[in-house]
Structure 1
Amino acid sequence: MKHWWLALLIVLWPGSVGAAPAGVLRLQTPLQADAVYDRIYKALEAARFWVVHEANLGERMAGNADQWGADYNRSRLGTVRALAFGNLEWTNAIANADPDLLALYPLHLTVFERDGTSYIVLPRLSVMVKGSPGEGRAMELEAEVRRILERALTD
C-alpha cells in the first residue's frame, strides 16, 4: 500500500462507516470530493464495473437556487456527484439468483462534501434483499464494491 498512513486515517476517522441509516453504506475521508470521485470512477472501471451514467447534482441544484430560495442547500453541501455503474458478470449472477433483484441495477453511489469531509454513500444491498433467494450473491457483490471503494481511497 503506497500510503499506509492515509489508509489508517480513513479507518480511524471518526464515523468512517458511522451513523448512516441501516440501508446506507457510508464511507468518509478527508480527501477532496472531486478527487474522491475521480479515484472511485477509475477504480470501478479497473475492476470491470463500467460507469454508465454520471450526474453533477451539485451544479444542477445550484441552477435552481433562485427558485428554491432559503430551501436551497440547507445542508451546506459542496460537491455533489453521482454515478451509476454495473458489471455484466455480476448482473448475470444476480439475475440467475433472483431476477427481481435486477430492480437494483444499475448500482449507484453519490459523493458529496460537507465541512471539509467527503462522503461516499450507496444503498446496502445486504439490507435491501433480505429474504431473497439472491441474498447471498447480493452480499458478495456489496462486499466487492466496498473493497473497490476502500482501495480507491487508500491507493
Structure 2
Amino acid sequence: MTASLKINGTSYKVDLPEDVPLLWVLRDEIGLTGTKFGCGVAACGACTVHIDGEAVRSCQVALSDVWGDVTTIEGLGSPDAMAKIQQAWVDHQVAQCGYCQSGQVMQAAALLAENPSPTDQDIDDAMQGNLCRCGTYPRIRAAIHDAASRLKEA
C-alpha cells in the first residue's frame, strides 16, 4: 500500500503493508525515534503520538487507519509551548530512566490542550494509561500543574 502521511507538518509517502503499525512507520521508515516501543499492546503509553490532536497509541494504529495529521514528540507544539512543558519536566525532575517520557509528555500536552486547568483527578484520569516503571507519578502530576500555569502566562 502506498500511503501519504503528514507528520510534524511534513508530507511523506511510504510503501508498506496496510497493517504495519504507525509506530514502525515513524521509527523505521521516517526515522523519528522519539516515539518509543514499550509493550506493543497499547498498555504502557510509551508510543503515544497525536493524530489530529488526539493522543493515541501508535503501536495499535495500522497505517491504513491513520485518519489525519500525525504529531510526534519531535514536532509537538510551538517551540515556546513545548519549552514550557519540557521545562516543567526538568524543574520537577520527572524523568529517571526517561524511557516513558515522550509518551508522558505527549499525553500531558493533549490533556493541557483540552483542559488548560486540570485538577489532580483530571490528570490522574488522563495519564492512567501511561506507565512509569520508576514511579514518578507525583512528579508528573506536579509538572503538569506547573506547565498549565506556565502556558496560562503566555
TM-score, structure 1 length as denominator?
0.28
TM-score, structure 2 length as denominator?
0.28
Higher relative contact order (CA 8 A, sep 6+): 1
Larger % of strand: which? 1
